Amino acid sequence: MLRTAIRATDDGFQADALPLVRPLAPTKRAASLPDDFGALSALTDCDLHGCEYLTRLPDCISNLSGLTRLYARYCSRLLSLPACIGSLPALATLDLTRCYSLSSLPDSIGGLAALTDLNLSGCTITTRLPDSIGNLVSLKSLNLSACTSLFGLPDSIGNLALLTALNMCDCTVFYNCPSSIGNLAALAKLDLGNCDTLSSLPESIGGLTALTWLNLSGLTVLRRLPNSIGHLVSLAKLNMMCCRTLKSLPESIGALAALTYLCLAKCKRLTSLPDSIGALRSLKVLDLAECEALTALPDSIGDLSALSQLRLRSCMRLSELPVCLGELAQLTLLDLSFCSQLASLPDTLGKLALLTKIHTDGCRERLTQSAKALQQ
């Protein structure tokens, strides 16, 4: 009888086939896999989710030549992977989410030629990836989020020619972003959110010409963007919320022709926007909420012909709005809440037929009345 999948249940390791066969082991509390595990020659799926007492995987796992998916999520006592794991020729998915005791991966991991999805999210004591990670020629998704002891990536990361998604959100001690990251020609999504100690990005990041989504939110010590940011010709969404030491943007930002969403909320030291901001003709949402040091908007902002939302909430040093806002024909929402220094609105806003929402909570009474008149 073929056993094509096993999964851990409260009653034991269940082998699924047609028809269903007997349990293979006691319960999720088991500290090891059954002795005949390596004999499951037809096994394709192995789900060990929540086997919190499992400390190791047996060497006989190398016999499972048909295994395509191995899920070991929340195996919180799993200390290591056997070196022979690199000899699984069909393995496409390896999920080690929240394996809190896993400190490293074996060098043999690079032998997984069919691997497309590697998830190490929440492996909190993993400090490094082996250089052999660059040998994963089929890898498309690498999730390292909340690997809170991971301080860098090996240079070989740049060899992952098919990688489309790299998630490093909440890697709080990550500080070394290698220049080889710019070689990831297929990368479409890069998440570096809340990497608290990452102070700079390499100029090579401009090589990510397929990148459509970039999250830099919470990079509290990032002081500048590289000029090469303007080379990201496919970038549609850029989130830089809470980049608290960022003081300015490079002029090259205006070259992001595909950008539809730009969030700079809570960039508390941002004092100005470059004139080139007006070249972002695809931009639909510009979020500058709580940019407390921002004193003015450039006149070029009136060139944002696709802009539908402009969020200026709590820009408390902003004393006036440029007349050119009246050129934003697609604008539907203007949030001025708690812009306490604003005394009035430009008359040109009356030209904006689509502008139906002007938020003025916490603003001066005169401005609030002007906004109400415009919305009638």
Distance CA 156, CA 313 (A): 43
- Structural domain range at position 26: 1-81
Residue 115 lies in a domain: no
89 found inside a domain: no
The pLDDT of residue 287 is 98
Coil, strand or helix at 371: helix
Note the helical H segments in 82-198. none
Predicted pLDDT of residue 27: 54
Asked, for residue 100, whether it belongs to a domain, the answer is: no
Query: From CA 105, how far away is CA 304, in angstroms rounded?
Result: 48
| pLDDT per position as a tens digit, 25-72 | 335 677 888 777 888 888 899 999 888 999 999 999 999 999 999 999
Specify if 368 maps to a domain.
Answer: no
What is the tens place of the pLDDT at every residue in 79-130?
999 999 999 999 999 999 999 999 899 999 999 999 999 999 999 988 889 9
Give me the percent of the chain exceeding a pLDDT of 70: 92
Q: Establish if 4 belongs to a structural domain.
A: yes
The pLDDT of residue 16: 54
pLDDT at residue 31 in the model: 81
User: For residue 327, is it within any domain?
Assistant: no
335 contact partners, CB below 8 Å, separation of at least 6:
289, 309, 310, 311, 312, 313, 357, 358, 359
Per the structure, how many domains does the chain have?
1
**In this structure, what DSSP letter does residue 152 have?**
B
Is residue 357 classed as helix, strand or coil in its secondary structure?
strand
Give the pLDDT confidence score for residue 25 in this predicted structure.
37
- Chain centroid to CA 359: how far? 30
Comparison of pLDDT for 272 and 5, the residue scoring more: 272
Q: Please check whether residue 56 lies inside any domain of the structure.
A: yes
- Band (pLDDT 50/70/90 cuts) for residue 20 is very low
Q: Which helix (H) or strand (E) holds 372?
A: helix 365-375
Q: How many CB atoms lie within 10 A of CB 184?
A: 24
User: Is the residue at 6 inside a domain?
Assistant: yes
Average of pLDDT values for 3-12?
60
Q: In the structure encoding, which two tokens stand for residue 278, read together?
A: 């007006």
CA distance 266 to 220: 10
C-alpha angle 352/358/359, rounded to 5°? 165
Q: Which of 125-129, 200-204, 230-234 has the lowest mean pLDDT?
A: 125-129
Which residue type occupies 143?
N
What is the rounded distance in angstroms from the CA atom of residue 50 to the CA atom of residue 63?
24
